Copies of this chain bind each other. A is one copy, B any other.
Amino acid sequence: MHMPLKGLVVLDLTQIFNGPYATYMMAAAGAEIIKIEPHDGEHLRKRTIGKASWLPFAMLNAGKRSLKLDLKSVQGKQILLDLVEKADVLVENFAAGVMERLGLGEKVLKARNPRIIYACSTGYGTNGPYRDYPAMDLTVQAMSGVINATGFTDSPPVKAGPAVCDFMSGVHLYGAIVTALLDRERNGSTPTVEVSMMEATYFSLSSNLGMIHAAVPGAPARTGNRHGALVVCPYNVYPTADGYIAIIINHNEHWRALVTSFGHPELVDDARYKNNADRVKHMQEVDDMVASWTTPHKRADLFERLIAVTVPCAPVRDLHEVMNDPHLHQRGSLRWIEHPEYGRIAAPASPLRYNGEASLPERPSVPLGTDSRAILQERLGLSTQQLDDLESAGVI
């Protein structure tokens, strides 16, 4: 397995999805991740009392070592600073200002180790009027325009099903941290790294923003399953006898293939539908027509038939299908493992592939504090007696 980040040490104070996703990808690339949590665990671990949070916690925390540490105690702070001396990165996604209030702001850490990269992710950034607004995926989806841009034109707005703001932010944070490490390696710089969830989501709305810039008259706030700027047709999700199929026609050859496949070759030269611009003008008509063709057929049959004539399309699959997807399992992107705490789970590899290999840390997520003693012994040389004392004092 190719391990590009091997030898790097990361102090990981992150929680829930955003930060932990960044450090998961670092773990999968070979970095040593020391996940530092308070005595009651980070928020997502606390939620694992409910079974529905088992899988997310296991997905995001594979390959990380667990250190239980009370950062509010004097000794806890001391230990963190001692660890900082030999670490490459410290990353956190607390609300803005929390680290300073703990007395562990960047300046304090840099005084102990000028080479450390300090990285954080917040909802809205470390400055500006919204700095202190509460930021969870749902509130950032609301503020960033994702919710209002999602849903059917004549229905209320609805959030995107995936936690897009959390995960967009997490992967940007990964990219920024690695960039800073490269900068340190090439130029000797140790820039402070910052990613805001709202800013990390902005670009993904570019089609929708484009429609606003173009000031299209009567442009709807959301376009259902149609193109975000209503500039491609057909582009929609169509009903089938047993589900839905997504179809996009980018070129006239696709249009020819589609109409011919449904027995309507005469539509190829029909002036109303000849080019994409014509079809866009008759969007509702075209969509109704395509829906009338797809409705009687089974989703799988349609997919096979249309793919065979190179019409871009895809079945709308549910998450059972995705989790059991033969393609993902064959590529090693998903693997069934027996998790010691959570049972049989589909464990996903890092989406970042090097030399074609899927990288999934061998060690699953561990119970809180599993590695506390080992980490402090190895990295700070603490004795058994010292570790016992720290435990008795409730520091670790």
Contact = CB atoms under 8 A, between A and B. Distances in A.
Contact of A163 (B136, B151, B207): B207
A191 interface: yes
A320 B145 CA distance: 9
Contact of A213 (B5, B55, B158, B209): B55
A107 to B, nearest CB: 13
A161 B189 contact: no
Contacts of A356: 126-127, 192, 194
Nearest to A194: B353
Interface stretch (A266-274, A325-333, A381-389): A325-333
A74 interface: no
A80 interface: no
Interface string A132-165: 0110101111111111111110011111111110
Interface string A309-330: 0101111111111110011101
A198 B328 contact: yes
Question: Which interface residue of A129, A148, A342 has the most chain B CB atoms within 10 A?
Answer: A148
A193 B353 contact: yes
A231 interface: yes
B318 A221 contact: yes
A146 B162 contact: yes
Contact of A200 (B4, B250, B320, B351): B351
Given A56-B206, A127-B356, 14 more contacts: A47-B231, A54-B210, A55-B210, A125-B327, A128-B327, A142-B237, A147-B225, A148-B161, A157-B316, A167-B203, A183-B354, A191-B355, A202-B322, A202-B348
Interface of A: 2, 4-7, 17, 21, 24-25, 29, 43, 47, 50-56, 59-60, 124-130, 133-134, 136, 138-152, 155-164, 166-168, 171-172, 174-176, 178-183, 185-187, 189, 191-196, 198-214, 216, 221-225, 227-231, 235, 237, 239, 244-246, 248, 250, 277, 307, 310, 312-323, 326-328, 330-331, 333-334, 342, 345-346, 348-349, 351-356
15 contacts: A17-B206, A52-B216, A60-B206, A125-B333, A138-B225, A138-B227, A142-B314, A145-B318, A147-B237, A162-B204, A171-B171, A171-B172, A172-B351, A182-B182, A203-B351
Sort A-B residue pairs by CB-CB distance and give the 10 closest, nearest first.
Answer: A149-B161, A4-B183, A160-B160, A134-B312, A162-B204, A191-B354, A51-B214, A150-B161, A139-B314, A167-B204
